[in-house]
């Protein structure tokens, strides 16, 4: 009986570990990913117009992402800061988008033009809990 109980406990632990591992993998695939790019720009309106061009390039490449441009209003010394956010449905979607964008000559040309109106202060990736 003791041998059977030990076997049952071991099996329960193994099953629990497998379920947890599967849940973690599924969570990693489903968790929304947000890329946040803080920029310095002298002309936020021109930057926002350029971002719209990038949005159209991404749409043409079939990239599912939500892009927004934000400007800090009540942020102490950071008031006026401009942030672009790009939301992807998963880390996999971000990686696939990155591969498509790096292979796109239109995107590369757009980035060169975008660099004329902004300087990147920080570029971060956040994952949803």
Domain co-membership, 93 together with 103: yes
Examine the pLDDT at 9 and tell me if it is beyond 80. Answer: no
Domain co-membership, 94 together with 112: yes
In the β-sheet with 82-88, what is the strand arrangement from edge to edge? Answer: 66-71, 82-88, 33-40, 119-127
Per residue in 34-67, pLDDT (tens digit) is: 999 999 999 999 999 999 999 999 999 999 899 9
pLDDT at res. 27: 46
Long-range contacts at 51-56 (CB < 8 A, ≥ 24 apart):
51/84, 51/114, 53/110, 54/107, 54/110, 54/114
Domain co-membership, 19 together with 68: no
User: Counting every residue, how long is the chain?
Assistant: 129
Examine the pLDDT at 114 and tell me if it is beyond 60. Answer: yes
Domain co-membership, 14 together with 37: no
Output the CA–CA distances (angstroms, integers) from residue 42 to 47, 76, 110, 116, 118, in the order listed.
9, 18, 18, 10, 8
Domain hosting residue 121, numbered range = 31-127
pLDDT at res. 21: 52
Domain co-membership, 37 together with 18: no
CATH of the domain at 116: 3.30.70.100
DSSP 8-state symbol, 23: H
pLDDT at res. 129: 82
Share of the chain above pLDDT 70, in %: 77
d(CA 23, CA 86): 26
Element (DSSP H or E) covering residue 45: helix 44-60
d(CA 69, CA 48): 6
Domain co-membership, 69 together with 35: yes
Q: Look at the chain and report how many structural domains it folds into.
A: 2
Domain co-membership, 93 together with 36: yes
Per residue in 60-97, pLDDT (tens digit) is: 999 989 999 999 999 899 888 999 999 999 999 999 99
Domain co-membership, 73 together with 55: yes
Q: How confident is the model at residue 128 (pLDDT cuts 50, 70, 90)?
A: confident
Domain co-membership, 12 together with 52: no
Domain co-membership, 2 together with 58: no
Q: How remote is the C-alpha of 93 from its chain's centroid?
A: 8
pLDDT at res. 63: 96
Domain co-membership, 16 together with 76: no
Domain co-membership, 7 together with 40: no
Element (DSSP H or E) covering residue 6: helix 2-30
């Amino acid at each position: 009986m003791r041998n059977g109980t030990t076997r049952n406990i071991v099996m329960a632990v193994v099953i629990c570990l497998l379920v947890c591992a599967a849940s973690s993998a599924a969570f990693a695939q489903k968790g929304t990913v947000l890329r946040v790019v803080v920029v310095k720009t002298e002309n936020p309106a021109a930057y926002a117009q350029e971002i719209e061009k990038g949005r159209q390039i991404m749409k043409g490449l079939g990239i599912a992402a939500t892009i927004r441009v934000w400007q800090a209003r009540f942020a102490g010394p950071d008031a006026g800061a401009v942030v672009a956010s790009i939301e992807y449905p998963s880390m996999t979607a971000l990686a696939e988008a990155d591969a498509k964008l790096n292979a796109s000559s239109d995107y590369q040309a757009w980035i060169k033009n975008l660099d004329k109106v902004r300087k990147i202060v920080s570029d971060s990736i956040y994952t949803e809990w």
